[in-house]
Structure 1
Amino acid sequence: MADSFHFNISMISRGKRKSAVASAAYISCEKLTNEWDGVTHDYHNKKGNFIHTYAGIELRLKMYEIMKKQGHEEETGKAKITSGYNLPAKYILHTVGPIIQWEVTGKEEELLASCYRECLKLAADTGAESVAFCCLSTGVFRFPQQRAAEIATETVKNYINEDSRIKKSYLTYSRTMI
């Protein structure tokens, strides 16, 4: 893989939290989460474009198929799953996070939590024991990073404490939050 993108990673495993620095491009996990805008032509600069680029053209073609069959854009807070293609992950989870217009509302916080829950459920249903998440909606979607990280940590921790099929989850945060 060409470049390596470094993030602070908080690993949650059965209620215990550990911190480490790792390379997101080389995380050893079964599922990698891709923030996605629900359409097949996302040209703005965000994490999803890196995932699409490194996964290869097959991923873009698969997403086009999914959207065409579905007949509408993906709903915020929902998720889809595809193969990992050229990435070092078996699968990629795709979710649409909330876009913040002014201030964060309770509805937007719930939609963000739903992104994580939907991804975890898809991962568990396909037999994965580990999932890696980027901090969803914090780029061009403008969700405040600190609050998004709190929602992610709480949601993932609650989920893996209730569903024993997921053993580990990796949450990535920007270095500017440290």
Structure 2
Amino acid sequence: MTQITLVEGDITEQRVDVIVNAANSSLLGGGGVDGAIHRRGGPEILADCRRLRASHYGKGLPTGQAVATTAGRLPARWVVHTVGPVHRLEEYERQAELLASCYRESLRLAVELGARTVAFPAISAGIYGWPLEDAARIALTAVTEAVAEPAESGPVGSASLAEVRFVLFGAEAYGVFEQVWRALGQRS
């Protein structure tokens, strides 16, 4: 059974198999989590991202999808990059599904890579403007449902993942995720 945990901290310091990057579609770095991962991980991550852009993702990585690169100098084996949606009330249902897809696709790819541990940030909850409480509900629900699937019935399943860790930057983000986690009937 996969354990889901919440921690307050810096995602670039997590010793896990996969660190998930809340990337922008260019895959070439940016601000927030994306910039921190590229800075700490070093030029190897950017070099892999450039290769991906030159081969399969010339127009960038579509929102809700995921792709893996080396982790460079990070204390992880891989970085899984996923592009979260920008929060727009007029397209809420579609955008919420894309946000959930970021988590599902990142987990699917992590399992394909053979990862046992995965660390997620709060995707789209920064500059992309997603309200933190709603982002937490979507994230925690998507991950809980994905890891609860039997391994033979879905792309994720719980067979190989030992831990999915949400790494929240700051006390406010941690507190909101913890409150939503409890409201969903879980304990951190």
TM-score (norm 2): 0.80
User: Which residue does 1:167 correspond to in 2?
Assistant: 162
Task: Please give the per-residue CA displacement for 1:18-40, whole angstroms capped at 9, x wherever unaligned.
Answer: 55545533322100000111104
User: Which residue does 2:183 correspond to in 1?
Assistant: none
Task: Please give the per-residue CA displacement for 1:146-172, whole angstroms capped at 9, x wherever unaligned.
Answer: 111111111111111111221210012
Matched, 1:69 2:55: yes
Select between 89-98 and 61-70 the one with higher mean Cα deviation. Answer: 61-70
Select between 18-27 and 62-71 the one with higher mean Cα deviation. Answer: 18-27
> Aligned partner of 1:108: which letter?
Q
> Aligned partner of 2:168: which letter?
Y
**1:152/1:171 contact within 8 Å kept:** no
**CA distance in structure 2 between the partners assigned to 1:145 and 1:151 by the alignment:** 10
Matched, 1:56 2:42: yes
From the two aligned structures, give the one with the greater strand fraction: 1
**2:118/2:163 contact within 8 Å kept:** yes
Q: The residue matched to 1:93 in structure 2 has which SS? A: strand
Count the aligned residue pairs.
164
**CA distance in structure 2 between the partners assigned to 1:40 and 1:19 by the alignment:** 26
Residue correspondence of structure 1 range 5-154 to structure 2 within 5 A: 14=2, 19-43=6-30, 45-70=31-56, 71-102=58-89, 105-154=92-141
What's the Cα RMSD here?
1.9
> Aligned partner of 1:28: which letter?
R
Counterparts in 2 of 1:94 and 1:17: CA distance versus 1, 3 Å: closer
> Aligned partner of 2:17: which letter?
E
**1:104/1:143 contact within 8 Å kept:** no
- Listed as ranges, the gaps of 5+ residues in structure 2 are 150-156, 176-188
Counterparts in 2 of 1:60 and 1:121: CA distance versus 1, 3 Å: same
> Aligned partner of 1:35: which letter?
A
- Listed as ranges, the gaps of 5+ residues in structure 1 are 1-12
> Aligned partner of 2:137: which letter?
E
**2:21/2:80 contact within 8 Å kept:** yes
Q: Which runs of 4+ in 1 moved over 6 A?
A: none
Select between 109-118 and 26-35 the one with higher mean Cα deviation. Answer: 26-35
TM-score (norm 1): 0.84
> Aligned partner of 2:34: which letter?
G
